[in-house]
Amino acid sequence: MIKKILCVVVFATSINNYSQKKIDYSVASLPQTFIENADRVVVNRKENHQILSQTVIKQNFSEINFVKNEDGLSEVDRSIVYDKLSKVKNLEFKIYNAQGELVKTYKEKDFTDTSLADGFSILTDNRMKNLNLNYFNYPFFTKFDYETEEANTIALPSFIPLKSPEEKLLSASYQLHYPAGFTINKNETNLKEYNIAKTETANTISYEVSNVSAPEYEDLNIDYINVLPIVRFSNNTFALGNVKGVANNWNEFGVWYHENFLKGLNQLSEATVVKMKGLTKEAKTDIDKARIIFDYVQNNTRYISIQVGIGGWKPFPAKEVDRLGYGDCKALTNYTKSLLEAVGVTSYYTIIHASDKIVNIEEKNISLQGNHIILTVPTKEGNIFLECTSQKIPFGHLSTSTDNRKALAIKPDGAFFVNTNSNNENENVLEASFKVNLNNMQRVKTNVSFTNKGSFYNNIYYLNTNDKDEVAKYLKDFFTTLKNLSIVDYQAKNNKENYVFSEEIQLDSDFVGAKTGNDYLISVNPFFSIARVPQKYSNRKTGFTINRGKSYNITTEFTIPEGYTISFKPEIKKLDTKFGSYVVEMFQEGKNLKVNQKFVVKSGKYLKEDYNAYYQFLMDVSLNNSSKFIVSKTN
C-alpha cells in the first residue's frame, strides 16, 4: 500500500502465521550488555515481499520483541493500516513469558477495526486494525505476524532495519522477489556502516543485519535519517489498482500520472468560465489574475478530506467541486488549476511531503511519494506556490509544513522538480515595542506593539481576531510570565499581500518582577523568552542545522514612578558569533529606562565541533534576556 495523498501514511506489511508454543529466545539467552539499557529490543524481524505480477504484491511480516517495561511496550507496533486495494490475512499477536513460553494468543477478532476518518472527512477508505494490549508482567516477549496482498506495485516497501532513535536490533532480514523482465532500482544508504550483508540473484534481492543499534538522536540534527541504514526501491513496471504504467524516468512518470489521475478533470461549466473571465477582466498581469482566482476559491469552497478514487490519489473533477463547494487538497488544487486555465494562466499540480520536518521528494526513487498537493504558478519573477486547502492562508504563502523542500510538479508531457520558498533571518523578523507603566507596582499597565514577519507571521496569520476567547487564549499562552493577566484591548491588522501581521495590545497584570524589601527586580525582557537553549552534550557526534534563522528587534520603555529610582543596571552585553549576534543597550532618560534588544540567529549548517559554542551562545542570550535592573524607593 502507498502513502495516501492528504492525510494518512499507509504502510502495508505482512506475516507468516506460526503456532509454536515456545520461541527460541529467553531473557537468559539474550546478550545482557545489549538489553541492560534498553526498554525494548527487536529480537528478530523478517520481511518477505513478492511481486506476483505488475498489479499485485504479496507481503509477509514477522517480528519478535523483547519488552522490559511499560516504555518498551509503547514502542511495540500492534496495528496495521489497510484500504480497498489491500487485504490483511493471518493477523496474529502472541505473548511469551521471560522463558519464551507462550502465554496468550490474540487473533484477528481481538483487534479493533476502525476508520481513520479525522472527524471532518465525509469519505475515507483507510482503516486500521489495532490491538489494545493489557499485559504487564514484565519482562516478556511479543510476536506480531500478518500477511497482506495489495493491488499496488508502484511504492515498494523500503528496507529500514532501524526505525527509531537508539533502537536495538538483534537480527533482521528482508527479501524482495520480482518477475523476470522487471527493473528494480535500489537507493542504498549506510549499508557498510552497519555491516549489512546483501545477496542479489536473478529476480531476488536480500539483506541481512545483526547486532546493531540506532544512534542517539541529537537536538537540531534534522539530517538524522541520513545516518541510518535504508534501502529504497522503485519499480519501472507497476500498477496502482488496475492502472498500469511503465516509467524509467520522471518525465515518463509525469506523463503516466497526468494521463491517469488528472486528464479530463479540468472541465468547467460555461457559466463558471464566463464568471471567472468577468472577475479577472480588469487584471493587468497573470499574478493579478491568480490572486483573484485564489481569493475566489478561498471564499467559495471549504476543505474536506476525501480519499477515494484510485488509491486515494485521483481528485474529484473540477466541475464537481464547483457544484458542491468543497474538496480535499487534490480536488481544491485541481479546481484552482482549472479556474486559472479558464483565464489563461498556466499552473502545475504539485506533489509535496507536508510535515514539520523537512522531507523532500526523492529524485533517485521514481515512485509515488508525498502526502499533499499544492499548486505551482510560474512567473517571470519565479514560482508562486499556492496552498489551496486553507481559507485563511494568504496568496503565495506556505506554512512551515511545506516550505523549504523539494516537490514534484506534474505537466501533461512530463514532470519537473521545484524547490519551495525558504526564509532566513532577514525575512523571519519580530519587531516588538513595550511601554510599561510602573506607577502602580501592584498592577502594571503595558502597551504592546508587535510586527510579525516570515515565520512569525506564519504562527499567527490564522488567528480569528474577532473571537475574544481565541485572542485571550493566544495572549495568555504567549505571555506566560505575566500573572493575573487581563487583556484590556486588542487590535490587529493582517497585511496578506506583504505577509505582515501587526498587533496593538493593552495589558493589565500583576507586577512584572520580584520585590525584595524596598527593591524591585525587573528583567530587561520580563515578557517572553527569545532563545530556546538546546540540549547539552558532553560529546556531540553529529552536526546541526538551523533551518529558519530569526531576528528580534525589541524596545521596552519602563516608566519609573515618583519616589523611586533606578539603583542598578546590568552591564551592556554584546555577543557576536558565527551563529548570530545579541546586544542589549540601556538608556536612562530622566527617571525612565529604555532597553533595546537585538537578537539574530543565522540559518545554516554547522559542524559537530561548533555545537558547544552554539549552545553557549544561546545560554548567554537567555541569561542576558533575563538579567535584571533594580528599582528602589528613594525615601
| pLDDT tens digits for range 173-188 | 999 999 998 999 999 9
Work out the average pLDDT over 534-559.
95
DSSP codes, 66-125: EE-SHHHHHTS--EEEE-TTEEEEEEEEEEE-TTSBEEEEEEGGGSEEEE---SS-SEE-
SS3 of 478, please?
Answer: helix
Determine contact, residues 554/448, Cβ cutoff 8 Å. Answer: no
pLDDT band of residue 305 (cuts 50, 70, 90) is confident
Reported as a single tens digit per residue, the pLDDT across 46-61 is 999 999 999 999 999 9
Reported as a single tens digit per residue, the pLDDT across 220-229 is 998 899 899 9
| Cell numbers placing 221 | 540534527
Q: Tell me, what's the pLDDT at 8?
A: 33
pLDDT band of residue 26 (cuts 50, 70, 90) is very high
CA dist., res. 350 & res. 375, Å (int): 5
For the cut 80, the answer to whether the pLDDT of residue 151 exceeds it is yes
Q: Is the dihedral of CA 375, 377, 378, 382 positive or negative?
A: negative
Percentage of the chain exceeding pLDDT 70: 94
CA dist., res. 365 & res. 384, Å (int): 26
Work out the average pLDDT over 377-398.
95
Q: Tell me, what's the pLDDT at 73?
A: 95
Reported as a single tens digit per residue, the pLDDT across 344-366 is 999 999 999 998 889 999 999 99
Q: Tell me, what's the pLDDT at 312?
A: 75
For 582, the enclosing helix (H) or strand (E) is strand 580-589
pLDDT band of residue 308 (cuts 50, 70, 90) is low
Q: Tell me, what's the pLDDT at 311?
A: 64
For the cut 90, the answer to whether the pLDDT of residue 433 exceeds it is yes
Q: Which domains does the chain have, with CATH numbers?
A: 28-240 (2.60.40.3140), 247-419 (3.10.620.30), 429-633 (2.60.120.1130)
Q: Tell me, what's the pLDDT at 222?
A: 87
Determine contact, residues 21/102, Cβ cutoff 8 Å. Answer: yes
Q: Tell me, what's the pLDDT at 13?
A: 34
Q: Select the more confidently predicted residue: 311 or 541.
A: 541
Residue 280, C-beta contacts closer than 8 angstroms, at least 6 positions apart: 288, 289, 292, 293, 343
Q: Tell me, what's the pLDDT at 1?
A: 47
Determine contact, residues 332/297, Cβ cutoff 8 Å. Answer: yes
For the cut 60, the answer to whether the pLDDT of residue 4 exceeds it is no
Q: Tell me, what's the pLDDT at 444?
A: 95
For 493, the enclosing helix (H) or strand (E) is strand 486-495
SS3 of 42, please?
Answer: strand
Percentage of the chain exceeding pLDDT 90: 84
Q: Tell me, what's the pLDDT at 14?
A: 34
Lookup result for grid cell 484500504: 83
Which has the closest alpha carbon to 522: 573, 568, 574?
A: 568
Work out the average pLDDT over 312-338.
93
Greatest mean pLDDT among 122-126, 274-278, 538-542: 274-278
For the cut 70, the answer to whether the pLDDT of residue 121 exceeds it is no
Average pLDDT, the chain: 92
pLDDT band of residue 485 (cuts 50, 70, 90) is very high
CA dist., res. 246 & res. 561, Å (int): 78
pLDDT band of residue 253 (cuts 50, 70, 90) is very high
Work out the average pLDDT over 552-559.
97
For the cut 90, the answer to whether the pLDDT of residue 19 exceeds it is no
Which has the closest alpha carbon to 520: 572, 480, 486, 558?
A: 558
pLDDT band of residue 34 (cuts 50, 70, 90) is confident
DSSP tag of 182: -
For the cut 60, the answer to whether the pLDDT of residue 204 exceeds it is yes
